[in-house]
Structure 1
Amino acid sequence: MSPAPVLVAGGTGFVGRRLVAALAEQGEDVRVMTRRPTSYSGPGVPVRGDVEQLASLESSLAGCRAAYYLVHSLDRPDFRAHDAAAARSFAQAAAASGVEQIIYLGGLGNDEDDLSSHLRSRREVEGLLGSTGVPVTVLRAGIIVGHGGISWEITRQLVEHLPAMITPRWVRTRTQPIAVDDVVGYLVGVLDRADALGRVFEVGGPDVLEYKEMLQRVAAVEGKSLLVVPVPLLSPALSSRWLALVTDVDVRSGRNLIDSMVNEVVVTDHSIADVVPLTPKGYDDAVRAALDERRREGR
């Protein structure tokens, strides 16, 4: 008898579409939750579902043994309230459907810090997903490096569009970037693991870098030179407008991400290695992989 299906909510997004492909490749019966199933053409079976419609969630989750939750809404002015409501509905539907594990991709950050609204929302979602009794496995990550990811696109476009930058102070904040393929490896690895149920794991690559160093290392990989001059005068609002001028990231999403860049996001708990013994690639290799994928797509 084959195992029950696995649902991926957010399966058409940056991480989700890669996760769906990886699960399908290892023989999983994957359901891809989307609001427009007739337009989906990737691996897995598309099912209609909308986090704003509880009935659609219950039908999407019916018969599933596990569900990945990769949903968030940075581009909305009320994203925190919207994400909380969506997580409550998903948790309710998962419990009603008998789901045995929810796997959620959240964000790194020390709870004792004054976390941004974006990171605080990720913490709220963690709790809400587990509020109906379904065991939740949380993977917390920082910057995810891969073609099409919003944080990576900000980095790449800044480097490629500007030979020099007068930047906000957040470029001195430390982070621990991770390649998108390694995030997917961890997400696949915790599925059906009894020792991952009800636990929070932190994941990151081997390099701990300031945002300034990340920008300069991308420039080096691309054979460019880059001058970065941090100044104390650029507010988050001005920073997001500055990003909108030199990248194709919209102002609201940029502002929400910039607000989080004041928080250090570094792995302090390495217990994921006991459950998923994966060796993540270094930052420069992750950058090369992202650039290679972009070239293959002719971008």
Structure 2
Amino acid sequence: MNETKRYQKVLVTGATGYIGRRLVERLLDTTQFQVRVLVRNRNKLQAAVLDKVEITEGDTFNLDALSKALAGIDTAYYLIHSMGSDTDYQELDRISAENFRNACIQAGVRRLIYLGGLGVKESASKHLLSRIETGEILAAEPDKIQTLWFRAGVIIGSGSASFEIIRNLVQKLPAMITPKWVKTKTQPVGIEDVLAYLAGGVDLTVEGNQMIDIGAETLSFKDMMRQAAEVMGLKRYLFPVPVLSPKLSSYWLILFTPVPLRLAAALVEGLRSETVLQNDNARKLFPTIQPIPYHQAVREAIEELEHNQVISRWCDSSAGIACDIKDFDNPAGAVLRDVREVVLGTATPDRVFASACSLGGEKGWYRYTLLWKLRGIIDKLSGGYGLNRGRRLAGELRVGDALDFWKVVDIRKDKRLLLFAQMKVPGKAWLEFDIQPDRLVQTAHFLPRGIWGRLYWYSVLPLHHFVFSDLAKKLVERAQGNI
């Protein structure tokens, strides 16, 4: 290996997202690259990579941060989008892509690598159309910078949105009345194959811009559900009917899967159009990569779940505050609080901390889990995440992880766990576990928005009396080994 390749510098944007987290680890597995990341909050990076990468804080709307991040970079990955934003995400995507392309050109970057979605403009959904437009913007200056534009359809891997939807529907529903779009054709691809293509793009010998469509066999969503059921050893029946509208389909998804209404609506809209390969450049340019069949990708995703090896999830990062933690890791401004103190007794701080970190997911919230689930259903129907988003791993939390309808915004080992509420509430809410040498101080913080925020807080106080009191006591009892 020559010296030029050994010290090739690569920038990964979206490094705390579903694809980005895994790509960073893949690139670090070789001595060929020096990896730099551009992130909004360095605290969201997994601890295992902190001392192995260069970190620049900022985003693609901060030109100074972009310039700093791209200095000396040979290849830059663009793995970000603005769909989670509450504003016009299409316009934000345009501005972001133009900023990034121009900054790459100014910095002398040799190659830009982008991962977008399969589809054609004539039939693409709003979301897919934005992804196509992003690719066109990034590739608009071929005489100044080369762009490799990878396009994938349904990505199957532990923690991916598509896999989470399929897995939840198959596991929970023995029979399903489904909309017509379950017959729509797509070409799913396993996450490991996606990473292989992306990583291979750095050293690919090719001239000019390239659009590279990636995917395995052509299947309908109905085929995917049935094959997933077979892998799980289940028998499932699907009955397509013409009466389920996209809106009804979206509500169906949010009730039985972890995704919120906005994402469900985007996925349903996208599934109404075929997303199949438009070229065979992947085979020509990467002859050594043979995409694994869909059923094998499902099997590998399930094995990762069963062995607690989930590196990233679909909800790790987005453009909206719901998946970011910047400015949400300090509840000092809250004006309303519910404080519960429990003496540790025979429990030690480290065991109480571990007990707090095991909350949620399949283990639930102790005695009043049913009330938490009811609140989750209400949240789902209101457009929020709801409770069934669960958690990445059963026994581990990291900053930025989703925990049911909470987001982990601060962790101090054996001392503090702070959760920021992502449920739909008229204000901002936190749940804090402060572990002192002799007691647990559990505090629900709330910053109301107007009169409705205050009315909400006082209306749920009776429930808080039971739920939060029980939660604090059970956490300590569990740490004592009594439950």
> Normalising by structure 1, what TM-score?
0.94
Verify the 8 A CA contact 2:114 2:147 in the aligned structure 1. yes
CA distance in 1, matches of 2:140, 2:285: 24
Residue 113 of structure 2: aligned partner: 103
The aligned amino acid for 1:168 is: P
Tell me what 2:330 maps to.
none
Say which SS state the counterpart of residue 249 (structure 2) adopts: helix
Amino acid aligned to 1:15: I
State the distance in 2 between where 1:227 and 1:73 align.
Answer: 36
- 1:25 corresponds to: 29
CA drift at 1:81? 1.7
Q: List alignment gaps of at least 5 residues for structure 2.
A: 309-392, 395-483
Mapping of residues 1-299 of structure 1, within 5 Å: 1=3, 2-27=6-31, 28-40=33-45, 41-43=47-49, 44-77=53-86, 78-111=88-121, 113-132=122-141, 133-195=144-206, 197-205=208-216, 207-277=217-287, 278-297=289-308
Cα distance in 2, alignment partners of residues 58 and 234 from structure 1 = 49
Structure-1 separation of matches of 2:272 and 2:82: 20
Amino acid of the residue matched to residue 63 of structure 2? L
Give the whole-Å Cα distance in 2 for the aligned partners of 1:147 and 1:198.
31
Q: Distance in 2 between matches of 1:165 and 1:76?
A: 32
Q: Deviations over 1:78-130 (max 9, x none)?
A: 2222211211111121112111111001111134x321111111111011113
Distance 2:256 2:245 in 1: 17
Matched-pair contact (CA < 8 Å) for 1:76–1:252: no
> Is the Cα contact below 8 Å between 1:101 and 1:192 reproduced in 2?
no
> Does structure 2 conserve the Cα–Cα contact (< 8 Å) formed by 1:74 and 1:256?
no
Question: What is the letter of the counterpart of residue 285 of structure 2?
Answer: V
Q: For residues 177-227 of structure 1, what are the alpha-carbon distances to aligned partners after superposition, in whole Å with 9 as ceiling and x for unaligned?
A: 01000011111112132416411011101x211100101111111111111
Residue by residue over 1:43-76, the C-alpha shift from the partner in whole angstroms, topping out at 9 and shown as x without a partner, is: 3333213122222111111111110111123333
Q: Is the 8 A contact 2:74 2:110 kept in 1?
A: yes
| Matched-pair contact (CA < 8 Å) for 1:190–1:196 | no
Give the 3-state SS of the residue equivalent to 1:72 in structure 2.
coil
Deviation at 1:282, TM superposition (A): 0.7
TM-score (normalised: structure 2): 0.59
Q: How far off is 1:25 after superposition?
A: 0.8
Structure 2 vs 1, CA of residues 42 and 235 (structure 1 numbering), >3 Å: closer, same or farther? farther
**Letter of the structure 1 residue corresponding to residue 185 of structure 2:** R
Contact 2:56 2:65 in 1 (8 A): no
- Give the partner amino acid of 2:72: G
Greater relative contact order, per chain length (Cα 8 Å cut-off, separation 6+): 1
Q: Tell me, which stretches of 5 or more residues in structure 1 are unaligned?
A: none
> Does structure 2 conserve the Cα–Cα contact (< 8 Å) formed by 1:196 and 1:275?
no
In 2, the alpha carbon distance for the partners of 1:196 and 1:151 equals 34
Alpha-carbon distance in structure 2 between the residues aligned to 1:170 and 1:93: 40
Write the distance in 1 (CA, Å) between the matches of 2:284 and 2:7: 25
**CA distance in 2: counterparts of 1:181 and 1:42, whole angstroms:** 20
Number of equivalenced pairs: 297
The CA deviation at 1:39 is: 4.1
CA distance in 1, matches of 2:261, 2:275: 22
Equivalent residue letter for 2:152: A
**Partner Cα distance (2:64, 2:37) in 1:** 16
Deviation of the 1:246 alpha carbon = 0.8
Contact 1:74–1:252 (Cα < 8 Å) also in 2: no
Q: CA separation in 1, counterparts of 2:44 and 2:15?
A: 13
- Superposed CA RMSD: 1.6
Percent of matched pairs sharing the same residue: 38
